[in-house]
Amino acid sequence: MAVEAVVSVVLQKLTDMLKGHSQSQNKVIVYDVQEIIKSLNSLKKLMEINQQPEEYLDAVYNIEDGIEKFTLIVACRRDVFGFLTNHIFFFNNLKSCYNIHQKVKKITTQLMYLRDHQPHQRTPIIEVSNEEKADKEPVGENHTTVKNHTPSQGSSYTSETQETNHVGCMDELSFSYSCNEEEIQIVGVKERFQQRRRISSFSYKEEDLGIFGLKEDVDILVDHLTKNSTEHVVSIIGERGIGKTTLARIIYKNKDIKRHFQFCAWVSVLEEYSTKDILLNLFKATQSITDKPINMDDEKVVKLKLSSYLKNKRYLVILDGLSTCNNLEVLKETLPDEKNGSKLLLTCLQTIETPQMKIVSHRMMPLTEDDSWNMFREKIGKEQSWALVPEKSKLAILQSCKGLPLNVVLLAGFFSMKDPSSWSQVFCCEQNSVNILSLCFNDLSDHLKVCLLYSVLFPKGFDIPVRRLLRLWLAEGFVKQNSTKVFPEDIAQTYFEELVNRNMIQISKLRSDNSPRRCRVVGVLHDYLLPKAQETNLFHNYRKLVNSEEVDFPNVRRIVEYDSPKREQGNDRREIIGKENVAYSSSSNYFSSFTSNESPSSPKKSQPKSSLFNPTHLRTYTSFNYQKTDYMHAKTIGNLLGHIISNGFGLLRVLDLEGVYKPILPENLGNLCNLRYLGLRSTYLDTLPSSVGELTHLETLDLKHTCIDELPCSIWRLKKLYHLNLNEMRLNMHPKYSSLRLWTLWGLSLDEKVPIKDGLDRLNDLRELGITFQLSSNQYDLMEWISKLTELRSLRLRSKDSLGRPSKLMFKSMSELGQLSHLNLLGNLEKLPDLNEFPPTLKVLTLSISLLKQDPMQTLGQLPCLTVLRLLGQSYIGKEMVSHKGGFSKLRVLKMWMLKELESWFVEEGSMQSLKHLDIRCCDKLRNIPIRLLQQQQLEHLVLTGMPQIFTTEVERMKSDHTSITINDWKFPTLPKDDSTLVKPS
């Protein structure tokens, strides 16, 4: 099933190729590509019948390689020769396309034979001889040798003749649910996608971040951990999918836990981790990581540092996934029990027994049938349709779930996409159980399968930024775009929402407006998906690859380097780089033969037997190595990129180095003309190769949290650049003739030298805009341009003077911006805008250094969609504030920081009735929080920071029991009397 999804992605890329300008002008080439698409469609249908579709994976990848290289060469030639390309290279291009087609035709013929004569016998595709390849294949193609692949455990087949090796009747069924409109036949689902607004209305409930039925477990464990019990080690025991990690995370974030322990750390323990690995990961969680570098290879030094840091601290260390007592006994030396209430919390499949220490175990029990059914109904919804569910379907569901919460939520997500009246068709008989993971995965559309498999490229337990994940899906070509009128990111968002609805991706962190910020793949599901991703050669582990003794990896398409706690010695690094050099030396001949004009009969140079992999085939290089002093890693990245782009055209689509410390980028980076995604966020780079302006296919350039202060003028020639994230960077350019169609422009520093008229105002499709500007004369032009950005969703404006201090901020009506939901303003406003000047869809408003003299609450309280309001440093300088009756009907979060003159605050009856979170910081003169607000049932959490002792004491006395309170005694520097110091909102 996963292999068929790969074929669908390749088909999509070929379809997109036909839309390209360079190829579509040649009707003969277009015809041949259409024939290739037909052949691949036939191949996909044959794979659905054949027992071992993985056999044909190499062939599919070889086709993709040839097509992409051909397309890339045509595009590069067009950049050089312009409109003459089709005439100068017509016969060369035609022959290459014809050769590709012949190869696909040969593979399809063999597959047809396999289907008609040997449907159950595993027969590899015939390997083409070198001589035949030289004559008939496009130059640069690999062998079509098909390796043996082991089928994934729990995979299901659609053929009626395949009646062996299945759990029950469920495995014989297949489902073709897709989010593509023409394929949706499920009651209620088609309408949901048809009615989708341009602004995503998809929302997430905070309670969905946990798992149903854990309150009693949480109460027991929190009480045990905070009551100074004598046991130093506590373990959570239970089978896979029962919710051990989820329970541990809820405890880790619990407010009583945070208040009780002086230091808390979380370490996800992978199977291959040694005790040293665990210690190094734990060491990174301590503040001592900022000290001068230590020898990370010396375990004794690391232990000493950790022991020194934790000494006399009451700490909680959670080791998620610890499996052996050996690690625990060694860790005891570093994490001693000093009888001060410190705890070590473990999550384990089985009880760990060791004579050296006493371990208190908390065993998680499966849900009862009643709890399982109630949880299933709560997660799936559709209360009005429960009468349609037959009793035998209910029994089959309960039997399949086995009381495991993960099974319940996955099956609920699966059935939420189907009409309850059809559920009985899924279960053949009530005594049959199912492989729920396999069922849920196989029910996905092909594009969703690939997107989900790609998500396990991130380390297990990693909190994935949603922004990053969606843009990577787009850059990889996984998102099927059916209409030019729909933003691709909207389609990717739809994919994400469906995977969340199916409970296959879990939201791990929400923004204040309840939109998802980070997500993760649940550990058990990650374990299930990882082998499938490996079977399809979706990505390879860098360290395992370069240290492998195997040879000939023709389909290494994506390399991921994980943040291993182990540091290679210099010799190890040199060995790795040496292997890369060997690999490249063998591949350069291979790649140059594709781009050269050598005749097919030209003798080929022999390749070294130690060939490891061909780096010129790479589509993606991603690194999660965040060690700040690992300069060898930075050099390795530069060497690898150099190998990819030297003497050829690299196919690299994604270069994601987010968080890697100062990676070395080659000066000829622009030769990676197929690059779609360049992620350099938080790399602390201070320079960028000038050739970045030659990346003609680049879609995302993320330079946020870097030290880069200038971009080349050529950046404005990138016609496909959609997302540009900067770090308060001034662009020395004149975009008058720019052909950019940016959707994101964030972190731009603007002054009088950058034109707005006939310049920035040519960017009409922006959805996210963040500008810090120093303008004295043409703020009007800036606001005039912004007021016409009808697609804008998020806007941040910061007005500063030449010394970096907040200055005058002009405001022009934004009533026409019907999509704008987030607005952040920093600067001195003459007055608060009128109600009809605000965007009608505004959900989140942040004001900083506004110096408003008139109470803003009367106007702001009438904003119909406002859910988050942040009144930060000196946004209001009056003494009294009144929240009027009926105002702020949807407000959930209110932050008031450094309102230095505010003395009294009144909340009338019926105001702020939905408020859940109130955060007050350094409002020194404020005498009280309205009792009406403190007694509201909806108010869940109250945070007081830097407030007078008499204030906090009174609030604690007056608040309701259902409202939790956090009091911070942090001190902040006072603002100068001229109110000119910049206060940055957090």
Quote the DSSP letter at residue 852: B
> Above 80 in pLDDT, residue 595?
no
**Strongest mean pLDDT among 44-48, 240-244, 383-387:** 240-244
Quote the pLDDT of residue 581. 41
Quote the pLDDT of residue 110. 54
The residues with which 362 forms a beta bridge, in sequence order, are 236
Q: Are strands 516-520 and 558-561 parallel, antiparallel or unpaired?
A: unpaired
Q: What is the mean pLDDT of the chain?
A: 75
Q: Quote the CA–CA distance of 9 and 451 in Å, as a whole number.
A: 10
Report the candidate in 307, 364, 349, 298 with the shortest Cα–Cα distance to residue 332: 307
Name the pTM for this structure: 0.80
Q: Quote the CA–CA distance of 392 and 409 in Å, as a whole number.
A: 19
Cβ–Cβ under 8 Å, residues 717 and 698? no
- Looking at per-residue pLDDT, the higher value among 1 and 573 belongs to 1
Lowest mean pLDDT among 27-31, 550-554, 565-569: 565-569
Cα–Cα–Cα angle for 460, 465, 466, rounded to 5 degrees: 110
Lowest mean pLDDT among 302-311, 486-495, 682-691: 302-311
pLDDT by residue (tens digit) across 80-89? 444 444 444 4
Direct distance between the N- and C-terminal alpha carbons of the chain, in angstroms, rounded to an integer: 45
For residue 385, which amino acid is it? S
Structure token pair of residue 920: 């007050």
- Looking at per-residue pLDDT, the higher value among 609 and 411 belongs to 411
Quote the pLDDT of residue 878. 95
| Neighbouring residues of 462: CB distance < 8 A, sequence distance ≥ 6 | 520, 624
Cβ–Cβ under 8 Å, residues 565 and 629? no
Lowest mean pLDDT among 148-157, 206-215, 567-576, 668-677: 148-157
Cα 846 off chain centre by: 26
Cβ–Cβ under 8 Å, residues 49 and 119? yes
Quote the pLDDT of residue 512. 81
Q: Quote the CA–CA distance of 159 and 51 in Å, as a whole number.
A: 9
Q: How confident is residue 896, by pLDDT bands cut at 50, 70 and 90?
A: very high
pLDDT by residue (tens digit) across 791-832? 999 999 999 988 889 999 999 999 999 999 999 999 999 999
Q: How confident is residue 569, by pLDDT bands cut at 50, 70 and 90?
A: very low
Quote the pLDDT of residue 104. 57
Three-class SS of residue 398?
A: helix
Quote the pLDDT of residue 746. 95
- Looking at per-residue pLDDT, the higher value among 628 and 507 belongs to 507
- Looking at per-residue pLDDT, the higher value among 229 and 809 belongs to 809
pLDDT by residue (tens digit) across 327-375? 777 777 788 787 888 899 999 888 777 766 778 889 999 988 888 888 8
Can you say whether residue 645 is alpha, beta or left, with left for phi > 0 and alpha for psi between -120 and 50 degrees? alpha
Share of the chain above pLDDT 70, in %: 69
Quote the pLDDT of residue 526. 92
Long-range contacts of 111-114 (CB under 8 A, 24+ apart): 111/42, 111/43, 111/46, 111/47, 111/50, 111/56, 112/42, 112/46, 114/46, 114/50
Q: How confident is residue 787, by pLDDT bands cut at 50, 70 and 90?
A: very high
Quote the pLDDT of residue 628. 64
Q: Quote the CA–CA distance of 440 and 600 in Å, as a whole number.
A: 49
Q: Quote the CA–CA distance of 503 and 467 in Å, as a whole number.
A: 19
